[in-house]
Structure 1
Amino acid sequence: MSPRHLVAVRILAVLVVAFGLVYLGWRWGSTVPWPVWWIGVPLVIAETYSLGESVLYALTMWNAKRRPTAPPARPGLSVDVFITTYNEPLELVLNTAIHARDLDYPHATYILDDGDRPDFRRAAAAIRVGYITRGPEWQGRQRFAKAGNINNALYGTAGDFIAILDADQVPEPRFLDRVLGYFDDEAVAFVQTPQSFWNVDPADPLGSRAELFYGPIQQGKDGWGAAFFCGSNAVLRREAIMALGLTRFSRGARGRMRQALRRARWRLIDLQSRLALRDPAQLPVLDAALAALTVAERQHRTGEVLSEISWELQRGIRSAVTDGEAEATPAVISELDAVVESIEVARTDQAIAVHALDTSSITEDMATAMHLHAMGWTSVYHHEVLVHGLAPEDVRTMLTQRKRWASGSMQVFFGENPMLLRGLSFAQRLMYLATMTSYLNGFAALVYLAAPIVFLTTGVFPLAADAGVFVLYFAPMFLLCQLLFQVAGRGAGGLWRGQQMSFALFPTWISAALSGAAASLLGKHLSFSVTAKEKQGDGGADYRAIWPQLAALALLAVASVIGIVRAATGEAPLIATGLTLLWVGLDFALLSALIRAARYRGPSADISDPLPPGEELRRVVALVSNEDARREPALPVAPD
């Protein structure tokens, strides 16, 4: 963003805030229709939320950072390229692996196959790249989806830098050369590049081109020191993510030890009270054990090393058993052994103790970046398309993908809210908050759909004000918000499509918010849905996937007819009805994007892959297929 452009954005941002505050002051102060609060209050809350999102957007754009060209990559850096896969087809993964293998900068390439497929193992050997899958230690244990796959691979590799690519994200040869130079700054934890999709029609009916996010928004977050890690097309410093894993493990272990010491004290006090009547000779043993426990509690409060606390407690309890005047009974010894065992908090029932990438959310990328920033590491957004991927080709797959993103973000919002996370600057907190709260838009959209329907069908107006006065207050703020959005996003395509999808996906956002809240607050499990890389369904229009939006359109249409009839017969005011019909028209324009999405049948034939599969890929696939055929047992011949 040029200096002149940035000045224009900042002027608009100030105007949006000023006119927005005037509007909200007027709305809350004198226009809430308390007799019909059930529609009036939700509407003014929704408006307050929407203005808040506009302010967060303005703040993001306020400090947009246009980075100069990165320094050249220093020779001799140790780099591992990870290609994550679970159930994607062999041809897709091999195309990415071959292009990753052929990157210009020296590196090692690994296929991380969470599906543990023999043909993938043979194919990896054929193209001379590494192959990593999970070992038996993962059997019967939580796997943590993609984050667990990467964390597992970190223990089998040694590169100082880790480039992560999804199975369908094919890199250009210069990918590493263009980003490794940023790591000359030893505080940089990761560099993120845009996610770009080649299989998208120019009209982008599914809203896959996130050009506003992978552009102005990421540049804005970068300006505030909060560029996001987005799970693919990024390079991370191993030291940073391993430090994060160790810090989180240590913090968790310290909390577990505090709880274990508390439970151990109550356990010994309970045993002491029971033995006071049955076997008082054992009380000196328990007194000595409680004294050792008191020492351990004091060491924990003063921040002693956890292993030292466990060792000293074990020695103290052993002395209580062996050095006392009375011989401890087997029952007492068993109880004391159990206490010692419970304090060994470094033990874990997971396959690996330290998880470098965050495993607390299905959006491991956002959570990892947030905690890295909280630790003081910095990040870089490099605004250059260096990797070409595949976008969903049908509406159902798109909705599944968006729900996973939103659910994981809301899981972090409710579980590890950035406003409460120590270590983040205030600006960084707001940058994370802006992304997370954007998914609450589903509830606001529901209100914006319900309010005009209520008025047109019942005559209940959701605000107590003259329609003309409302326009005078509302129009400047609304137009300024739209102008800010367009000016700040200048040069980014798909701005209108982005607005449509943000509104039209309201059922997905509501479901995701509820799922994320349930996962964080109630411990409900959130499944990680791998985005299908091939078109789902029979190729026809999929209207069942968008039935809530179709129902909303039908209700708006019926309400409009009723409202027109009521206005024509004098039962409803003409100006208020006219303004509400304009409101309905905007709702129609926003929701209509989903009809086009449901009818989408994939990219047109004239769209070509910029990094297509080569002859080597076809040869390796044929080789693996022939090996599979030879390995299959012969079918029995039916008797005559």
Structure 2
Amino acid sequence: MRPLKKFYFSEYEDRKPEPPLAYNPRIEFLWQLCATATVFLGIWYIQWRWAHSLNHDALWFSVPVALAETLSFIGLLLYVNNLWSTDDVPKSPPPEMRREVMFDGADRPLSVDIFLPTYTEDPELIRYSIRDAMAVRYPYSIDIKVHVLDDGNRPEMKAVAQQEGVNYITRSSNIGYKAGNLRNGMENTDGDFIVILDSDTRVFPTFLINTLGYFRDADVAWVQTPQWFYDVPEGTRLPDVWQNACGVVGKWSAKAVETVVGPITVNQDPFISDPKLFYDVILRRRNRANASFCCGAGSIHRRGAVMESALRDYSSQVQGMVAGYSENESVPDRKAQLQSALATECALSTELTPYKFHVSEDIYTSIVLHEDTERNWKSILHPGVETKMLSPLDLHTWALQRFKYAAGTLHIMLYDNPLRRSGMSLAQKMMYAMTFWSYLAPIWLVIFIGAPIFALFSGISPVSAYSVEFFAHLLPFLLMHELASALGTWGVDNRKGKMLNLAFFSFNIQAMWAVVMRREIKFKVTPKSRNTGNFLHLVIPQITVLCLCVLAIGYGAVQQYLDPNPQRLTALIVNGFWASINGYAMTVLIAAALWRPKDIASAGMEIQDQVKQGELA
């Protein structure tokens, strides 16, 4: 067996994922209690905000701020609905024979195809994924085939596949990007189930043991498992950092700081890549509404479900095209003849797409399956981690990935919104609505970011007065909201993640603009090696916001010092507080732009210098 090439992640091979969050009925009850209180306090505040606190001398400023608060509150309602309760699907023992999950009487072992789609990634990197896929075990006789789906049609990738003894599948074009690659893989395989990985996805040996049992329910179409990045920097404790810089004095000073504020780790996962909040909280709690969508890598699909829904969607598209082209023909016989002739042409010109041809093919395909009223397919988020992946290694890579997610989801929302069609239940639509709404957040985040800056510079307030009545309505809502948020995500520290989401506003706006202008959202393979240099050019909007926040607070303080005024002091405290929060959020992303991995050269990572300004747009 060929030795594996050393990569930077080789030193992290022994890392193990955390177990899924344990269900705690007491915490859930407290969360539901606080969430309910938050909703009522929010309604009370928003109602009062519109009725009694608008600044009628500056409605052009006050109304947009109040509208932004209202839109944000709608997002809160959708978030509360999503997180309301945990309802895990009980795990069943792995099936022994096909008849236990396919219900067609076939008395033979199961067959599973493991897909490893690739395009430009290093074949030696994929060798790791191939070997882990081949190490998947099962307690019964089973037919497991590993397939490398190479959209790059590379001789070196074919050679690796042959050396490892797995099937190599390629095609002459890249139509449909990853979705087209998966379709081509399906056309050349016939397994009962399909496991979808990415080129850097390392599947654990227990994957099939822990997921195939769910398919004892004949209505389960796919099972998604959490994605886990095993290479994220674990960081260095503050005492060690200060000791290296200042010796023993630095070490004891840092320990004194930690005594007050708790343990501090620096250089820890600068991009907040850990997706535990998304998988273990948000997506997991969608199980109760049958709305847990597919996220691609780390998922297993019932082949028959994917093909059945694809054929039904294909038929619906053809019928819609025929009806549209023939709607102006009023003579019944001639209309029937026209429709018969059109049916063949439309059928030939329409693509059969088991996985929708889209930059976000995973969520798009989930929508097709969820809205299939004739079959009512189910989806499941299995809470245990069954694979490991590589995280984004620099801000450019991370931003590119997030841009793709945002643009793909917004494209579906604007041009093929499932909420406008029948098929899904109300509970499912509410869950998808939260996903769509979250990507609209930059619209009101820009207002939240700009309002305190403008108020400090201009002296114009977005509220009629910073009165006792104002704080009596606002503070209970904010405090209860923070408490509910902590309880709703109990076990996951997402404080820094919230700041990063706020700071990402400029990238989401770029994605929104690209979709509105109907620019093609091209699929770009996420790089698996680090780009050189820093990435400050990507965070110019964040640097600008930070500078404006600092200047605005300074200007407001000087004005108050030169002309003391109790009302201006209150406005300075309120707007200065929000400007400080916004400014700190920007520093999180700016720090990520400057971050460099430790000992990058000695770790054996290949370095690229491919960053181009404006590439995200």
Q: Are 1:467 and 1:576, in contact at CA under 8 Å, matched by a contact in 2?
A: no
Percent identity over paired residues: 30
Cα offset for 1:604?
6.9
Q: What is the CA–CA distance in structure 2 between the aligned matches of 1:73 and 1:6, rounded to whole Å?
A: 33
Q: Quote the residue 1:357 is aligned against.
A: 355
Q: Quote the residue 2:513 is aligned against.
A: 514
Matches within 5 A, 1:202-601: 202=234, 203-262=268-327, 265=329, 292-296=333-337, 310=340, 340=341, 342-349=342-349, 353-359=351-357, 361-375=358-372, 376-493=376-493, 495-519=494-518, 524-538=519-533, 541-570=534-563, 573-601=568-596
Larger Rg: 1
Q: Are 1:58 and 1:484, in contact at CA under 8 Å, matched by a contact in 2?
A: no
Cα distance change on mapping 1:117 and 1:20 into 2, 3 Å:
same
Cα offset for 1:603?
5.9
Q: What is the CA–CA distance in structure 2 between the aligned matches of 1:389 and 1:454, rounded to whole Å?
A: 43
Cα offset for 1:89?
0.6
Q: Are 2:54 and 2:464, in contact at CA under 8 Å, matched by a contact in 1?
A: yes
Comparing 185-194 with 444-453, greater Cα deviation is found at 444-453
Matches within 5 A, 1:149-168: 149-168=181-200
Q: Quote the residue 2:62 is aligned against.
A: 40
Q: What is the CA–CA distance in structure 2 between the aligned matches of 1:586 and 1:144, rounded to whole Å?
A: 42
Q: Are 1:84 and 1:149, in contact at CA under 8 Å, matched by a contact in 2?
A: yes
1:265-291 Cα distance to aligned partner (Å, 9 max, x none):
49xxxxxxxxxxxxxxxxxxxxxxx66
Q: Are 1:442 and 1:508, in contact at CA under 8 Å, matched by a contact in 2?
A: no
Residue 127 of structure 1 aligns with an amino acid whose one-letter code is E
Q: Are 1:261 and 1:343, in contact at CA under 8 Å, matched by a contact in 2?
A: no
1:15-70 Cα distance to aligned partner (Å, 9 max, x none):
11100000000111122224423321221121112222222111111132234444
SS at match of 2:441: helix
Residue 217 of structure 2 aligns with an amino acid whose one-letter code is D
SS at match of 1:573: helix
- The yes-or-no answer on 1:52 pairing with 2:60 is no
Q: Quote the residue 1:172 is aligned against.
A: 204
Number of equivalenced pairs = 530
Q: What is the CA–CA distance in structure 2 between the aligned matches of 1:445 and 1:260, rounded to whole Å?
A: 44
1:560-609 Cα distance to aligned partner (Å, 9 max, x none):
1111112222376111111111111111222221122112213678x999
TM-score by length of 1: 0.79
Q: What is the CA–CA distance in structure 2 between the aligned matches of 1:79 and 1:23, rounded to whole Å?
A: 55
Q: Are 2:549 and 2:580, in contact at CA under 8 Å, matched by a contact in 1?
A: no
Q: Quote the residue 1:634 is aligned against.
A: none
Q: Quote the residue 1:615 is aligned against.
A: none
Q: Are 1:546 and 1:594, in contact at CA under 8 Å, matched by a contact in 2?
A: yes
Q: Which runs of 4+ in 1 moved over 6 A?
A: none
Cα distance change on mapping 1:603 and 1:74 into 2, 3 Å:
farther
Residue 229 of structure 1 aligns with an amino acid whose one-letter code is C
Cα distance change on mapping 1:73 and 1:604 into 2, 3 Å:
farther
1:294-325 Cα distance to aligned partner (Å, 9 max, x none):
3447xxxxxxxxxxx62xxxxxxxxxxxxxxx
Residue 584 of structure 2 aligns with an amino acid whose one-letter code is A
Residue 165 of structure 2 aligns with an amino acid whose one-letter code is R
Cα offset for 1:535?
0.5
Q: What is the CA–CA distance in structure 2 between the aligned matches of 1:34 and 1:604, rounded to whole Å?
A: 58
Residue 379 of structure 1 aligns with an amino acid whose one-letter code is S
Q: What is the CA–CA distance in structure 1 between the aligned matches of 2:590 and 2:201, rounded to whole Å?
A: 28
Residue 171 of structure 2 aligns with an amino acid whose one-letter code is R
Cα offset for 1:417?
2.2
Cα offset for 1:396?
1.0
Matches within 5 A, 1:3-42: 3-42=25-64
Q: Quote the residue 1:120 is aligned against.
A: 157
1:417-466 Cα distance to aligned partner (Å, 9 max, x none):
23213111111101111112111221222111111111111111111133
Q: What is the CA–CA distance in structure 2 between the aligned matches of 1:355 and 1:596, rounded to whole Å?
A: 42
Residue 145 of structure 1 aligns with an amino acid whose one-letter code is Y
Comparing 547-556 with 62-71, greater Cα deviation is found at 62-71
Q: What is the CA–CA distance in structure 1 between the aligned matches of 2:59 and 2:314, rounded to whole Å?
A: 48
SS at match of 2:583: helix
Residue 313 of structure 2 aligns with an amino acid whose one-letter code is R
Q: Quote the residue 1:72 is aligned against.
A: 94
- CA RMSD, Structure 1 to Structure 2 (Å): 2.2
SS at match of 1:166: coil
Cα distance change on mapping 1:443 and 1:431 into 2, 3 Å:
same
Q: Are 1:188 and 1:379, in contact at CA under 8 Å, matched by a contact in 2?
A: yes
Unaligned runs of 5+ in 2: 1-22, 98-108, 235-267, 605-617
SS at match of 1:132: strand
SS at match of 1:528: coil
Q: Are 1:418 and 1:433, in contact at CA under 8 Å, matched by a contact in 2?
A: no
Q: Quote the residue 2:264 is aligned against.
A: none
Residue 366 of structure 2 aligns with an amino acid whose one-letter code is A
Cα offset for 1:416?
2.5
Q: Are 2:456 and 2:555, in contact at CA under 8 Å, matched by a contact in 1?
A: yes
Q: Quote the residue 1:279 is aligned against.
A: none
Q: Are 1:96 and 1:168, in contact at CA under 8 Å, matched by a contact in 2?
A: yes
TM-score by length of 2: 0.82
Q: Are 2:206 and 2:386, in contact at CA under 8 Å, matched by a contact in 1?
A: yes
Q: Quote the residue 2:265 is aligned against.
A: none
Cα offset for 1:555?
1.0
1:141-180 Cα distance to aligned partner (Å, 9 max, x none):
x712111110111111111111000011101111111101
Unaligned runs of 5+ in 1: 267-289, 298-308, 311-339, 610-640
Q: Quote the residue 1:147 is aligned against.
A: 179
Question: Which of 97, 118, 130 lines up with 1:85 in the alignment?
Answer: 118
Q: Quote the residue 2:610 is aligned against.
A: none
Q: Quote the residue 2:220 is aligned against.
A: 188
1:231-285 Cα distance to aligned partner (Å, 9 max, x none):
110001111111121111111100111123246x49xxxxxxxxxxxxxxxxxxx
Cα offset for 1:516?
2.7
